[in-house]
């Protein structure tokens, strides 16, 4: 009985995969000027201690809901052919180490998506803006609750349909108060992430 159940389960899974593959082969996203993108990404922050003054191993989950709008038609004629999008993103980080603390931020954002591979679209992105955290005074790198967060990274969007995509990528995070208070050594971290986007 278990053998038949396994065969049935495998058959159903293969059928779903085949159907999804055939449907995906027809996907050709048409992202034009004015197309809007709403997305949600999540990842886990991993610390970088770049100097001997960086002693804190801050880490924890991060959540980034975002909105963007495409502002150009495809630029270029080679592998770098792509489109520019601008928008904004909210950032929430729950620092679980060395203390359970929180951080909230809002960042304007710009993204360049490479379109030469059609439904598989690598991209590069940059964002920066104000960031509040209650780590101040609890770690040697930060002395202010009000900070700024800067992120730069890259990723890949895989379009499941012409209006929905899965995203995976990596970001480098830097948090500091821009010299408004001292000490201001700052926090640096890597953020691998995954998520999804809808286009309309």
**Separation between Cα atoms, residue 130 and residue 150, nearest integer Å:** 9
Q: What is the model's pLDDT at position 56? A: 72
Q: What is the model's pLDDT at position 53? A: 66
Residue 153 β-bridge partners: 125, 171
Q: Which residues contact 119 (CB under 8 A, 6 or more apart)?
A: 24, 27, 28, 29, 158, 159
Q: pLDDT by residue (tens digit) across 120-152?
A: 999 999 999 999 998 877 777 777 889 999 999
My answer on whether omega of the bond before 183 falls inside 30° of 0, hence cis, is yes
Domain boundaries, the chain: 31-199
CATH class of the structural domain 31-199: mainly beta
pTM: 0.81
**Separation between Cα atoms, residue 37 and residue 20, nearest integer Å:** 23
Q: What is the model's pLDDT at position 55? A: 66
Distances (CA, A) of 77 to 73, 81, 114, 115, 117: 12, 6, 11, 10, 13
Q: pLDDT by residue (tens digit) across 54-73?
A: 667 778 999 999 999 999 99
Q: Which residues in 45-64 are b (16+ Cβ under 10 Å) and which e?
A: bebeeeeeebebebbbebeb
Evaluate if residue 44 carries a pLDDT over 80: yes
Helix (H) / strand (E) element for 21: namely helix 2-25
Instruction: Look up residue 91 and give its two tokens.
Output: 């950032």
Instruction: Look up residue 27 and give its two tokens.
Output: 């996907």
Q: Which residues contact 81 (CB under 8 A, 6 or more apart)?
A: 74, 75, 114, 115, 116
Average pLDDT estimate for 98-107: 90
Q: What is the model's pLDDT at position 21? A: 46
pLDDT band at 3 (very low <50, low <70, confident <90, very high): very low
Evaluate if residue 153 carries a pLDDT over 90: yes
Q: What is the model's pLDDT at position 17? A: 45
């Amino acid at each position: 009985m278990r053998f038949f159940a396994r065969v049935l389960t495998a058959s159903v899974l293969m059928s779903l995969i085949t159907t999804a593959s055939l449907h995906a082969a027809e996907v050709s996203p048409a992202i034009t000027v004015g197309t809007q993108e709403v997305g949600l990404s999540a990842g886990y922050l991993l610390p970088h201690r770049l100097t001997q003054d960086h002693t804190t191993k801050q880490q924890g989950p991060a959540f980034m809901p975002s909105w963007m709008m495409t502002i150009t038609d495809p630029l270029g004629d080679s592998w770098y052919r792509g489109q520019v999008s601008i928008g904004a993103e909210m950032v929430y980080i729950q620092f679980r180490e060395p203390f359970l603390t929180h951080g909230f931020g809002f960042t304007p954002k710009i993204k360049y998506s490479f379109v030469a591979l059609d439904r598989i679209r690598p991209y590069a992105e940059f964002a920066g803006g104000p960031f509040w955290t209650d780590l101040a005074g609890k770690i040697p790198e930060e002395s202010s609750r009000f900070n700024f967060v800067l992120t730069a990274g890259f990723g890949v969007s895989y379009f499941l349909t012409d209006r929905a995509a899965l995203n995976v990528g990596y970001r480098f995070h830097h948090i500091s108060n821009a010299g408004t208070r001292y000490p201001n050594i700052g926090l640096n971290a890597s953020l691998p992430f995954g998520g999804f986007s809808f286009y309309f």
